[in-house]
A = this chain, B = another copy of it.
Amino acid sequence: MGIIVQKFGGTSVATVEKILNVADRVLDERKRGNNVVVVVSAMGKSTDELISLAKQVSTKPSKRELDMLVTTGEQVTIALLAMALHEKGHDAVSMTGWQAGVETEPIHGSARILNIDTDQINRAIREGKIVIVAGFQGITEDGEITTLGRGGSDTSAVALAAALGADRCDIYTDVTGVYTADPRYIPSARQLSTISYDEMLELANLGAGVLHPRSVEFAKNYQIPLVVRSSTEKVEGTYVLEETIMEENLVVRGVAFEKDITKLTVYGLSNEIASLSSVFTPLAKNNVNVDIIIQNASDQNLNTLSFSIKTDELQEALQVLEEHKESIGYDHIEYESGLAKVSIVGSGMISNPGVAAQMFASLAEKDIFVKMVSTSEIKVSAVVNEDQMLKAAEILHDVFGLSKVEQEVSVAK
């Protein structure tokens, strides 16, 4: 018997009825002859409700006590799911993060998993039990309860799959799989049957939001096959695998887009090597996430530096830069909001030069002006005006053949 780890997110366990439905999903897998370890999140909006309680008590609740508070959410779900499985006649046992041996760094709110001591889980599996583990949570060496941050239940599931040597980690969600683009906005988007870890990682980082990036990284490092699938519809999901074992490929496999981007430009920086660091270190310390960076070294004495951030971090960014004006040494700052980022992702780009050029040409042809660009080996991102975002995404989705009926371009390995 192999081990399958299943993960069900908050929307999949939002009500008692949905928990009973999840129990059926678990038993389906069990009936296929597998041992099952289930990782669940808190029910629906319960984490948000707990945080709202905290905010009523304290303007700035301590992260340790927030972890203490919100970890009750998953604990409720594991108990109810165990009861649901009992009710359906199967032996099952719930475990909190600490009972399941999930050891993390001593950081509250966003701890990383250091180790999983699988003794308790393995013992329960040997006793024929379905094991239900509270996602998103762990324990430090000192016995403090920690959380892995938002999306952490994905990470819990993949880390458990790695520690248990599971055959597969199934991520059940409210979509049926990974799409070539967000189908809510791009009607011609279609579901992919497979995608590589690296591509998924770029898409997750780009805000495609199906999987938490850390969980994909973990799966890649330990070569755990992931499957993104629907918790309500019984249809095939999308396999996330290492490139080499994927049977099919497209040069571009997905188009992602994200609005509310602001471009900041710092003028008159003294031409010193330390400039980049003096700008980005205080921003990072104040949790302003900088995305694309463009440095225009000029032949004059003074440089210009542009970078993009999320618009909701603009005020914070401006304040930080103002506070550090002297140490950075710049003349003035300009910014442009109302921007968006459109990206194409695909492993095939490595062996197909000219993809970026084709992207820019296609956008230019339709009068879409690209304001910033950033590239990786398997990704090209372009910053455009927000009102042109969907148009740009549709063009790229068509140009790179994603809108066609499944008829993928095979790429030599």
A62 to chain B, nearest CB (A): 6
A residues engaging B (CB < 8 A)? 16, 19-20, 50, 53-54, 56-59, 61-62, 64-66, 68-69, 71-73, 75-76, 78-80, 82-84, 86-87, 93-94, 96, 99, 120, 143, 145
- Whether the Cβ atoms of A86 and B65 lie closer than 8 Å is yes
- Whether the Cβ atoms of B87 and A59 lie closer than 8 Å is yes
- Whether the Cβ atoms of A76 and B69 lie closer than 8 Å is yes
Closest B residue to A75 by CB, please name it. B72
Closest B residue to A143 by CB, please name it. B99
Complex contacts, A58 vs chain B, CB 8 Å: 83-84, 86-87
Most buried by B among A20, A73, A80, A145: A80
Q: How many copies does the complex hold?
A: 2
> Chain A's interface: helix, strand, loop or mixed, by majority?
helix
A124 to chain B, nearest CB (A): 12
With contacts A16-B57, A19-B57, A120-B143 taken as known, whether A65 is within 8 angstroms of B50 at the C-beta atoms is no
With contacts A56-B16, A57-B16, A87-B59 taken as known, whether A79 is within 8 angstroms of B66 at the C-beta atoms is yes
Show 24 residue pairs from A and B whose CB-CB distance is below 8 angstroms, ordered by the A residue.
A16-B53, A16-B56, A16-B57, A19-B57, A50-B76, A53-B76, A57-B80, A57-B87, A58-B83, A58-B84, A61-B86, A62-B82, A65-B83, A66-B79, A68-B75, A68-B78, A69-B79, A69-B83, A71-B75, A72-B73, A72-B75, A75-B75, A99-B143, A120-B143
